[in-house]
């Protein structure tokens, strides 16, 4: 998703991102893109709070029916303006899509095969639902599958020569950092997280509820704070238990350009001195040093390992194309 450009550009980019996943959000995003009145309303928010996911989720939180035509979104923005604004200011998207594990696990398993048990550090962990790759089974049609965890199955259609894992990665330690961690035991927080799932995606809602149940059996340890400030301490703690792996998915896009460059430089240095392995999964414009000029279709992320691209992935984990 594009975080740069004017409101119209960003909402049109989101419409492209949502194509094929939510007809409702495509219509809403295009509606906003062409609506100067809503542009003026959005201008009352900080730029980072103008993002479609957050605006649409806040409108639905305050009664916007979905799926529904664009007029329903605009009605709620107008009739419940102050309440929607307050929710947007107080909350964050923090979409914790556990389905992305289907695209991350082939990389995690490859690292584990080389280095042994992993200590996972998730940057922008939200509720930490993606910290349990060992608690799910996986299907990568037509490439193969990985079974035996006893947990739910996550599926990503595979193209290219995907290295299908033969065993689940062993996880020795799991933790993360987030500006506003969500507690999986907090019913209001989990209701908001569920509200972030797109309107037509009942399968994602079911998967989210399953993921919350998985995490509640062993709630993750997530530190509240800035990723740059907290990362060194987390890496030291992780290294006491296994091979540290720093990973993130659809997170670095929310940093400004300077912070993105600083994060890239930090990770590059940590990888170069052998301190960590780095697994990134972000939009193609977010970390250009990882994307390396690849031609990336709309709605696809670049999956990177140690700063180099290894696959293109669907933003919610529905598919993976190995490079």
Verify cis geometry, omega within 30 degrees of 0, for the bond prior to 142: yes
For residue 222, give the DSSP letter.
Answer: E
* Whether residues 235 and 154 fall in one domain: yes
Of the candidates 13, 100, 96, which has an alpha carbon nearest to the alpha carbon of residue 51?
A: 13
With H, G, I as helix, E, B as strand and everything else as coil, classify residue 156: coil
Is residue 287 domain-resident?
yes
* Whether residues 23 and 121 fall in one domain: no
Each residue's pLDDT tens digit, 6-55: 999 999 999 998 988 899 999 999 999 999 999 999 999 999 899 999 99
Residue 95 has pLDDT above 90, yes or no: no
* Residue 60 belongs to domain spanning: 7-90
Q: What is the pLDDT of residue 4?
A: 54
In sequence order, the 6+-apart residues with CB closer than 8 A to the CB of 248 are 122, 123, 124, 279, 280, 281, 282
Distance CA 254, CA 123 (A): 12
Is residue 248 domain-resident?
yes
Is residue 173 domain-resident?
yes
Q: What is the pLDDT of residue 3?
A: 52
In sequence order, the 6+-apart residues with CB closer than 8 A to the CB of 317 are 97, 98, 99, 100, 101, 102, 103, 154, 156
Mean predicted lDDT score pLDDT of the chain: 94
Each residue's pLDDT tens digit, 128-167: 999 999 999 999 999 999 999 999 999 999 999 999 999 9
Q: Torsion angle of alpha carbons 70, 89, 193, 98, nearest 10°? A: 100
* Whether residues 69 and 178 fall in one domain: no
Residue 2 has pLDDT above 80, yes or no: no
* Whether residues 227 and 273 fall in one domain: yes
Helix residue ranges, H only, 165-256? 187-195, 202-216, 227-239
User: How distant, in Å, are the alpha carbons of 18, 78, 277 from that of 202?
Assistant: 15, 28, 34
pTM attached to this predicted model: 0.84
Of 42, 69, 90, the residue at which a domain comes to its end is 90
CB neighbours of residue 198 within 10 Å: 21
Is residue 1 domain-resident?
no
Structure tokens at 112: 């584990």
Per mean pLDDT, which range of 79-83, 171-175, 294-298 is the poorest?
294-298
Average pLDDT of the segment spanning 68-75: 98
* 93 exposure class (CB count in 10 Å sphere: 0-12, 13-18, 19+): buried
Each residue's pLDDT tens digit, 190-205: 999 999 999 999 988 9
In sequence order, the 6+-apart residues with CB closer than 8 A to the CB of 39 are 7, 8, 32
* Whether residues 178 and 277 fall in one domain: yes
Of 53, 68, 90, the residue at which a domain comes to its end is 90
CATH number of the domain to which 200 belongs: 3.40.50
Q: What is the pLDDT of residue 298?
A: 81
What are the E-state strand segments in the chain? 118-123, 137-140, 144-146, 153-155, 157-159, 171-178, 221-224, 243-249, 277-282, 300-305, 308-314, 319-322
Structure tokens at 50: 């103008």
Of 30, 56, 90, the residue at which a domain comes to its end is 90
Residue 1 has pLDDT above 70, yes or no: no
Look at the chain and report how many structural domains it folds into.
2
* Whether residues 187 and 132 fall in one domain: yes
Q: What is the pLDDT of residue 261?
A: 95
Q: Phi then psi for 312, rounded to 5 degrees?
A: -110, 135
* Whether residues 168 and 239 fall in one domain: yes
* Whether residues 259 and 209 fall in one domain: yes
* Whether residues 80 and 204 fall in one domain: no
Average pLDDT of the segment spanning 77-89: 97
Is residue 275 domain-resident?
yes
Longest alpha-carbon distance in the chain: 57
Whether the Cβ atoms of residue 298 and residue 314 lie closer than 8 Å to each other:
no
Is residue 2 domain-resident?
no
Is residue 24 domain-resident?
yes
Distance CA 167, CA 152 (A): 16
């Amino acid at each position: 998703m594009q975080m740069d450009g004017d409101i119209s550009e960003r909402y049109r980019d989101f419409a492209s991102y949502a194509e094929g996943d939510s007809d409702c959000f495509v219509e809403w995003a295009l509606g906003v893109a062409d609506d100067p009145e809503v542009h003026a309303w959005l201008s009352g928010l900080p730029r980072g709070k103008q993002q479609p996911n957050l605006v649409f989720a806040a409108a639905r939180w305050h009664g916007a029916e979905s799926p529904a035509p664009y007029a329903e979104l605009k009605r709620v923005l107008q009739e419940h303006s102050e309440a929607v604004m307050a929710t947007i200011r107080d909350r964050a998207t923090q979409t914790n899509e556990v389905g992305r594990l289907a695209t991350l696990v082939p990389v995690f398993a490859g690292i584990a095969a080389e280095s042994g048990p992993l200590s996972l550090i998730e940057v922008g962990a939200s509720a930490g639902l993606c910290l349990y790759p060992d608690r799910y089974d996986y299907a990568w049609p037509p490439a193969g599958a990985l079974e035996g965890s006893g947990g739910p199955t996550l599926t990503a259609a595979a193209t290219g020569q995907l290295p299908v894992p033969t065993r689940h990665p062993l996880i020795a330690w799991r933790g993360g950092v987030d500006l506003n961690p969500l507690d999986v035991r907090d019913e209001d927080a989990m209701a908001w997280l569920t509200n972030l799932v797109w309107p037509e995606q009942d399968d994602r809602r079911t998967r989210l509820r399953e993921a919350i149940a998985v995490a509640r059996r062993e709630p993750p340890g997530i530190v509240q704070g800035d990723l740059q400030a907290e990362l060194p301490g987390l890496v030291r703690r992780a290294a006491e238990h296994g091979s540290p792996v720093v990973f993130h998915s659809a997170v670095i896009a929310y940093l400004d350009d300077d912070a993105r460059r600083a994060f890239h430089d930090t990770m590059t240095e940590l990888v170069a001195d052998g301190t960590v392995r780095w697994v990134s999964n972000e939009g193609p414009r977010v970390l250009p040093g990882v994307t390396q000029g690849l031609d990336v279709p709309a709605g696809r992320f670049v999956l990177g390992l140690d700063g180099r691209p290894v696959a293109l992935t669907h933003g919610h984990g529905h598919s993976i194309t190995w490079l």
